[in-house]
């Protein structure tokens, strides 16, 4: 949805990304002109949960500042700059989303669990992900050593047929000279050309991953040692970061990181309480509408190991408070009277807390309880 206001010196646009909006109602509670109404509570992403009155809207941008899902954007002459921020007339969210590079092992966990695709994994692609990717042994800085006994090596070429790091160049055989085997020489570290009366062995260190197959397959047991010793800690090259433009501070990355490398501070503090006894039977609206997958159907107490619940026992609605961002979409969409209670106790912001913000913060921190009835407005869609 796109709304536009054209003045003599400026063109303002309000853009609603329906693929991100879940009808949490924060924009509705924060709009100083009461220009926003909840049009379709409980609709899934992409269907348009709110409507904006183009007559009442002043394009101040407060809805865009406070939308936790970044579903609303207000621009002036194509720029995101807002006068209310430039003039310090309104604060912004003060939140933390950081990854400790020293602790991060560049694994894939956070990027897989993030519901908003906010994790940027700038890591080379290796052959484990894509056969055309970089070879796995190039990921770590290591010193590889190979030792070949030239007394035993016959330059037969078995090792070279197995590994691209080894190659054999034989001298041409003639009727006069056709014997195999090197001349007397002690074992030497590879990297030095192994001259023999039958040819030479070449080793390309950069291609070797010290797998040891050549050593095991050598018919003469001429390869005595293949070792790999790391020079640095086993951390993949590259960097993992969080795109703050997409991050909703759900904490999935922080709670699932195996190495405690992620730190997240949320927009809101507070609690969402669920009274499962008041939920309508068979209803799962809140589970489906939650943008962070914090609400789920839990197995009854006593059910272990993923076993199905015993006959007669029902799944219980539950919530992981660590993942909830207290947006309120579930409360607006809930069909159960008094089944959900949302209470924000604090909003983390930085900048000047103006009187306007304090009034809005007071409204946002009021308890919200599910009414169990359709609380959406009967309003026509705003034309693009």
% of the chain exceeding 90 in pLDDT? 58
pLDDT at 190: 47
Among 9-18, 217-226, 233-242, 301-310, which stretch is predicted with the lowest mean pLDDT? 301-310
pLDDT, one tens digit per residue, over 225-260 is 999 998 877 888 999 999 998 999 999 999 999 999
The CB-side HSE value for 35 (13 A sphere, CA atoms) comes to 18
118 C-beta neighbours (distance < 10 Å), count: 22
- Which residues have C-beta within 8 Å of that of residue 10, sequence separation ≥ 6? 76, 77
% of the chain exceeding 70 in pLDDT? 85
Strand, coil or helix: 134: strand
With a cut of 80, say whether residue 188 has pLDDT above it.
no
pLDDT at 129: 87
The whole-angstrom separation of Cα 74 and Cα 72 is 7
Rg of the chain (C-alpha set): 32
With a cut of 50, say whether residue 186 has pLDDT above it.
no
pLDDT, one tens digit per residue, over 280-302 is 888 889 999 999 999 999 877 65
Query: Is the whole-model pTM more than 0.85?
Result: no
Q: Looking at per-residue confidence, does 299 or 367 come out higher?
A: 367
pLDDT at 154: 80
The string of DSSP letters for 180-241 reads -SPPS---EETTS-EE-SSEEEEE-GGG-----HHHHH-TT--EEEEEEEESS-S--SSEEE
């Amino acid at each position: 949805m796109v709304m536009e206001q054209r003045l003599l010196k400026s063109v303002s646009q309000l853009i609603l990304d329906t693929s991100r909006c879940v009808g949490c109602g924060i924009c509705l509670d924060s709009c100083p002109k009461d220009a926003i109404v909840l049009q379709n509570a409980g609709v899934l992403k992409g269907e348009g949960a709110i409507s904006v009155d183009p007559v009442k809207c002043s394009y101040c941008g407060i809805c865009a500042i406070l939308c936790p899902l970044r579903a609303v954007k207000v621009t002036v002459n194509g720029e995101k700059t807002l006068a209310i921020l430039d003039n310090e007339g309104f604060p912004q969210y003060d939140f933390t989303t950081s990854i400790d590079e020293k602790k991060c092992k560049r694994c894939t966990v956070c990027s897989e669990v993030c519901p908003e695709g906010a994790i940027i994994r700038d890591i080379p692609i290796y052959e484990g992900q894509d056969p055309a990717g970089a070879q796995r042994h190039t990921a770590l800085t290591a010193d590889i050593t190979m030792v070949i006994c030239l007394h035993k090596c016959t330059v037969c070429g078995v090792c070279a047929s197995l590994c691209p790091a080894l190659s054999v160049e034989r001298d041409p055989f003639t009727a006069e000279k056709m014997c195999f085997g090197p001349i007397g020489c002690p074992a030497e570290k590879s990297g030095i050309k192994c001259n023999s009366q039958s040819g030479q062995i070449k080793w390309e260190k950069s291609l070797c991953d010290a797998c040891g197959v050549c050593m095991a397959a050598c018919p003469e047991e001429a390869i005595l040692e293949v070792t790999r010793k790391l020079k640095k800690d086993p951390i993949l090259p590259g960097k993992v970061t969080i795109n703050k433009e997409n991050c909703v501070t759900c904490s999935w990355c922080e709670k699932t990181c195996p190495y405690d490398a992620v730190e997240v501070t949320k927009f809101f503090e507070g609690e969402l309480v669920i009274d499962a006894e008041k939920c309508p039977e068979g209803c799962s609206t809140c589970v489906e509408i939650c943008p962070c997958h914090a609400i789920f159907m839990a197995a009854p107490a006593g059910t272990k190991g993923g076993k199905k619940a015993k006959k007669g026992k029902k799944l219980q609605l539950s919530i992981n408070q660590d993942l909830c961002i207290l947006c309120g979409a579930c409360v607006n969409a809930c069909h159960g009277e008094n089944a959900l209670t949302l209470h924000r106790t604090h909003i983390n912001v930085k900048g000047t807390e103006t009187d306007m913000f304090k009034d809005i913060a007071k409204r946002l921190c009021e308890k919200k309880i599910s009414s169990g009835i359709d609380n959406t407005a009967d309003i026509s869609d705003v034309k693009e």
